[in-house]
């Protein structure tokens, strides 16, 4: 389970040492820029920025390939939809549809956008511990008047933190269930519907019980959504200020490209 | 320290889990609550922790009633609880964060939180695992972390709900040694189990059946006198052997060994 996509890779690189808030804000800015870029030169620039980070942090490239891999069918669908259904200068025709030059360009740009959104998100999770991310989000949300709407930033952070914690737990439960059902003769190829039901129903039951147990453990340890303190001290350092400056350059470059 | 008066608890489906339970637990006692599955022992522990409210009667911890919701946080801080399944009581991403969860809820300063985390992890000899993900630890290590998480809130009472049920014998012994050490340091222990071999360190045994207390007193007296059938479960082989040796007059009638070590000592004294 340690090789799961979007997992944290411990380290001491410049990105690892940044305040989570700087990285979260950075991801938001980069994401907006990626969505704005519609040229290959812009995409090349984003690739360079990404490569520089990966190289500087000495992160394994395979980690990012793993982050993209589960979405390949989705990317392919996006690409094909643009390729076949965008009107423009025809390149060639297949029986029912015509592939246009504009479709090819649009499909490639759109697919690259999604790929970059994913790998930059993976860059954040690879260099920030899950608790760092939730602490960062919690601190950022404090600046919004959520409490007037009866929402606590602690609650949101706790929900996120528990969701991240539950993913591997769910996966472990799923593997145990799958092994148990297979050992009792379940054949997913012969009876796919039965297999889905026999795995999903107990998995939901187990998850509900696990949530109930965790809620009781939290209550028992005096959980309260307001007035909590934290063991994490988030402080902006020299590099954080430098990165905030860097974000302005990224925005300017994005506007140019 | 804990005063339970005529406590009854009925689940929403109508099942009566606790039926007029009366129990006084004094400061520094090591009380084992035993009984077969479904006898109400876990429900009793949850009532003490204020996780469930009495249908009838009352539960008071240090004079604070669980029905007084303004005091429930004080009660939970005073009486920390550890659950049976170590897997489902983790909240933090790392061992350190999980242990810090309680002190964070008590709004302690960052410095105090770090001190308590360090102290609690050292108490259970798990400080080297502070950066680990709880998930990857063994069952025994997980239960030690759960114990450290409760210790970080500096409770006077620790409620343990069948904490060794899912552990191997070595891990079980480690947890029992830790609990014994805590008791020696003055912590009140309320230990729920259905494994009677675990009560060797207890001052007092409370046997429950169908939501009622059937026996309450010194473990040696109860186990040496009460009929096996009244417990509703099988006695451990050591205790059965002690009974037979005593009834046959092989060992002294005034002694009743509860553990392997005690039995060996009694046998060694035979002439």
In chain B, where the domains are located: 2-235, 236-271
Per-residue confidence (pLDDT) for residue B1, from 0 to 100: 87
Tell me which residue in A161, A172, A233 faces B110 most closely, judged by beta carbons: A233
Q: What is the tens place of the pLDDT at every residue in A107-166?
A: 999 999 999 999 999 999 889 887 788 888 888 888 888 777 777 788 888 888 788 778
Angle at A163 between CA A192 and CA A230, to 5 degrees: 165
All residues of chain B having their beta carbon less than 8 Å from the beta carbon of residue A210 are 87-88
Chain B residues interacting with chain A (CB cutoff of 8 angstroms): 46, 49, 51, 73, 76-77, 80-81, 83, 85, 87-94, 96-97, 100-110, 113-114, 117, 131, 135, 149-150, 153
Count A/B contacts: CB-CB distance under 8 Å. 95
- The two structure tokens encoding residue A79: 């690409």
Higher-pLDDT residue of B146 and A151 is B146
- The two structure tokens encoding residue B104: 């964070």
Q: What is the tens place of the pLDDT at every residue in B78-118?
A: 999 999 888 778 888 789 989 999 999 999 999 999 999 99
Average pLDDT (A180-184) is: 88
Integer angstrom CA distances of residue A131 from A116, B12, B212: 24, 37, 44
Per-residue confidence (pLDDT) for residue B199, from 0 to 100: 77
In this structure, of A4-8, A110-114, B158-162, the range with the lowest mean pLDDT score is: A4-8
Q: Which helix (H) or strand (E) holds B41?
A: helix B41-48
Interface test with A, best of B48, B73, B91 (most A CBs within 10 A): B91
All residues of chain A having their beta carbon less than 8 Å from the beta carbon of residue B78 are none
Chain B nearest-CA residue for A163: B91
Q: What is the pTM of this model?
A: 0.79
| Residues A165, B91: C-beta atoms closer than 8 Å | yes
| Residues A229, B85: C-beta atoms closer than 8 Å | no
Q: Which residues contact B175 (CB under 8 A, 6 or more apart)?
A: B140, B143, B144, B147, B163, B164, B167
Output the DSSP codes for B45-58: HHHHTTSS--SEEE
Higher-pLDDT residue of B63 and B94 is B63
Homologous superfamily, domain B2-235: P-loop containing nucleotide triphosphate hydrolases (3.40.50.300)
| Residues A213, B91: C-beta atoms closer than 8 Å | no
> Reduced to 3 states, what is the DSSP secondary structure of residue A244?
helix
Please state the ipTM of this predicted complex: 0.86
| Residues A219, B51: C-beta atoms closer than 8 Å | yes
A1, pLDDT greater than 50:
no
Average pLDDT (A204-214) is: 90
Q: For residues B162 and B48, what is the distance between their CA atoms, to the nearest angstrom?
A: 15
Q: Does A29 touch chain B (CB under 8 A)?
A: no
The DSSP bridge pattern shows strands A90-93 and A98-100 to be antiparallel
| Residues A221, B76: C-beta atoms closer than 8 Å | yes
Interface test with A, best of B74, B79, B101, B120 (most A CBs within 10 A): B101
All residues of chain A having their beta carbon less than 8 Å from the beta carbon of residue B142 are none
Q: For residues B66 and A188, what is the distance between their CA atoms, to the nearest angstrom?
A: 51
Q: What is the tens place of the pLDDT at every residue in B249-259?
A: 887 767 788 88
Q: For residues B96 and B149, what is the distance between their CA atoms, to the nearest angstrom?
A: 9
């Amino acid at each position: 389970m340690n090789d799961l996509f979007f997992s944290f890779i411990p380290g001491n690189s410049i990105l690892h040492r940044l305040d989570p808030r700087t990285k979260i804000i950075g991801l938001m800015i980069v994401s907006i820029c990626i969505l704005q870029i519609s040229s290959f030169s812009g995409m090349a620039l984003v690739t360079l920025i990404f490569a520089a980070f990966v190289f500087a942090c000495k992160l394994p490239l395979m980690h990012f390939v793993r982050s993209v891999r589960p979405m390949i069918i989705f990317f392919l669908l996006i690409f094909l939809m643009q390729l076949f259904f965008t009107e423009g200068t025809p390149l060639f025709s297949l029986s029912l549809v015509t592939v246009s030059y504009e479709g090819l360009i649009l499909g490639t740009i759109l697919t690259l956008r999604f790929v970059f959104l994913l790998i930059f998100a993976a860059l954040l999770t690879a260099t920030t511990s899950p608790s760092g991310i939730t602490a960062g989000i919690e601190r950022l949300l404090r600046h919004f008047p959520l409490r007037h709407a009866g929402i606590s930033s602690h609650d949101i952070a706790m929900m996120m933190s528990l969701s991240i914690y539950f993913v591997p737990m769910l996966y472990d439960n799923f593997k145990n269930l799958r092994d148990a059902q297979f050992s009792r003769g379940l054949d997913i190829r012969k009876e796919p519907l039965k297999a889905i039901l026999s795995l999903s129903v107990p998995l939901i039951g187990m998850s509900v019980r696990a949530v109930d147990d965790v809620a009781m453990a939290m209550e028992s340890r005096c959980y309260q959504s307001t007035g909590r303190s934290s063991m994490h001290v988030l402080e902006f350092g020299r590099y954080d200020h430098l990165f905030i400056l860097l974000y302005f350059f990224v925005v300017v470059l994005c506007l140019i490209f | 320290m804990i005063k339970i008066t005529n406590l009854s608890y009925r689940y929403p489906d109508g099942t009566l889990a606790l039926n007029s339970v009366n129990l006084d637990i004094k400061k520094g006692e090591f009380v084992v609550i035993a009984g077969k599955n479904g006898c109400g022992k876990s429900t009793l522990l949850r009532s003490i922790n204020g996780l469930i409210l009495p249908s009838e009667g009352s539960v008071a911890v240090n004079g604070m009633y669980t029905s007084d919701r303004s005091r429930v946080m004080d009660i939970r801080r005073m009486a920390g609880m550890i659950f049976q399944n170590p897997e489902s009581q983790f909240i933090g991403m790392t061992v350190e964060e999980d242990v810090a969860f309680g002190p964070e809820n008590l709004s302690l300063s960052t410095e105090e939180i770090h001190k308590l985390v360090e102290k609690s992890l050292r108490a259970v000899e798990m400080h080297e695992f502070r950066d680990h993900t709880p998930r990857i630890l063994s069952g025994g290590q997980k239960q030690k972390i759960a114990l450290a998480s409760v210790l970080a809130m500096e409770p006077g009472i620790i409620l343990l709900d069948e904490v060794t049920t899912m552990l191997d014998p070595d891990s079980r012994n480690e947890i029992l040694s830790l609990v014994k050490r805590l008791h020696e340091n003055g912590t009140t222990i309320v230990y729920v189990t259905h494994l009677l071999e675990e009560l060797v360190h207890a001052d007092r045994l409370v046997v429950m059946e169908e939501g009622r207390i059937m026996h309450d007193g010194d473990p040696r007296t109860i186990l040496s006198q009460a009929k096996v059938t009244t417990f509703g479960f099988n006695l451990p082989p050591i205790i059965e052997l002690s009974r037979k040796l005593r009834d046959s007059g092989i060992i002294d009638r005034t002694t009743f060994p509860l553990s392997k070590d005690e039995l060996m000592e009694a046998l060694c004294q035979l002439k």
